[in-house]
Amino acid sequence: MRYPEGQPPDPTAPYGTMMHEMMTLSMWLGIVIGLCLYAAGRHGKVMWMKVWSLSLLGFSVAYLVGDAANLL
């Protein structure tokens, strides 16, 4: 069972804290991977890799800022 016996699920936090922590970890990893991809794209002069890596960086930072401001 997902919930202890006799305890109703909390509708405000259906996934608990573990899901939130995994999303935050994914965004931090996205920043690291985005920086590595940007460096590789810049070194190899590959435009699409630079664009995608900057997009990954932007979305990861936006998620972390939204999370810090309690908008998510």
Domains in the chain: boundaries: 17-68
Q: Specify the pLDDT at position 70.
A: 87
CA dist 65 and 72 (Å) reads 10
What pTM value is reported for the model? 0.77
Q: What is the DSSP letter of 9?
A: P
pLDDT averaged over 10-residue windows placed end to end, the chain, 72 residues: 67 73 95 97 96 97 94 84
CA dist 17 and 32 (Å) reads 23
Q: Specify the pLDDT at position 6.
A: 72
Q: Specify the pLDDT at position 2.
A: 63
Q: Specify the pLDDT at position 33.
A: 97
CB 40 within 8 A of CB 49: yes
